[in-house]
Amino acid sequence: MDYSLNQLALITGYTTRTLRNHLKQGNLNGEKIDGNWRFTEEDIDAFLRQPAIKQELSSKQNAVVYDFLSDTYKKTNRICTILDFPVSSEEAKSINEFFAGEINRMGQDIRFYSTYDRNMLRVILSGSEDQVMDIQNAYYRK
């Protein structure tokens, strides 16, 4: 299975514009099929293993948690959850596909970040309490 530019943006937290810039700079490889960028698991893995990219994504993930904790004036119920899965790369791909699909289907108010390193997938979900809980519950019911 391959990923679209929008799916990669959802998983990494980068905007599609930033990902296009990485494509132009040669940091990210993919294939354009019928006018749409497609990325294999190998393309994504090579991109995410670059030291500069790893550092940027780590900073983005830490910022999600920090922003959540520092916002003491929330007007609605919010939740931030970190899920760690000790899994193979194939299992990580399947888990990412599940969360990306669920968020695309229902979650306009969710921030989603995912990293995979040394057989550990870390998923961070932050947003509306109901939506985050619904997605988590759907994962554990499957």
Look at phi and psi of residue 117 and say left if phi exceeds 0, alpha if psi is from -120 to 50, else beta: beta
Distance CA 82, CA 122 (A): 7
Percentage of the chain beyond pLDDT 70 is 99
Mean pLDDT of 51-59: 87
**pLDDT score of 61:** 80
Residues 110-127 have pLDDT tens digits of 888 888 888 899 999 999
- Tell me phi and psi for residue 5, to 5 degrees: -60, -40
Of residues 109 and 31, more confidently modeled: 31
**pLDDT score of 1:** 65
Residue 130 scores a pLDDT above 80: yes
- Residue 92 contacts by C-beta under 8 Å, 6 or more apart in sequence? 85, 116, 121
pTM of the model: 0.74
Ranges of H-type helices in 49-110: 51-70, 89-106
